[in-house]
Amino acid sequence: MNHYGESLEDYLEAILVLSRQLPVVRSVDIASYLGYSKPSVSHAVKLMVEQELIVLDRSKYIQLTELGREVAEGTYQRHVFFSTMLENIGVPKEIAQEDACRIEHVISQETFDAIKAFYEKNEAR
């Protein structure tokens, strides 16, 4: 998986989560969800369209492209795994969420796969 940077990965993950909660996703929804300004979101939307990670329809509703969905789901999977793992070892939920958000962006796919396999193998014991 290509690395699109923490910021764009956060946007894509937010779009994925919002698309599961709302009938349509708009820039204002992303701004509200992430706590970012509307101009920041507009800039990110432009970048994501240019990189073919999202498409905007006539009503300016945002949809992930196949590539965007792949990146978003990978980021989201890492986030869920690390936040759950950290909570399971005693890290308070809020800290686990914050740390998972940082970890999910910097770790290679190979390392993630190895940690996940190791954790799941040892958790089964």
Provide the residue ranges of all domains of the chain, joining segments of one domain with +. Answer: 6-70, 72-123
Confidence category of residue 49, pLDDT binned at 50, 70, 90:
very high
Would you state the CATH architecture of domain 6-70? Orthogonal Bundle (1.10)
Q: What is the pLDDT of residues 91-125, one digit of tens each?
A: 999 999 999 999 998 988 899 999 999 988 987 77
Q: Phi and psi (nearest 5°) for 55?
A: -130, 150
Tell whether the model's pLDDT for residue 1 goes beyond 60: no
- State which fold the 72-123 domain adopts: Diphtheria Toxin Repressor; domain 2 (1.10.60)
Q: Whole-prediction pTM value?
A: 0.87
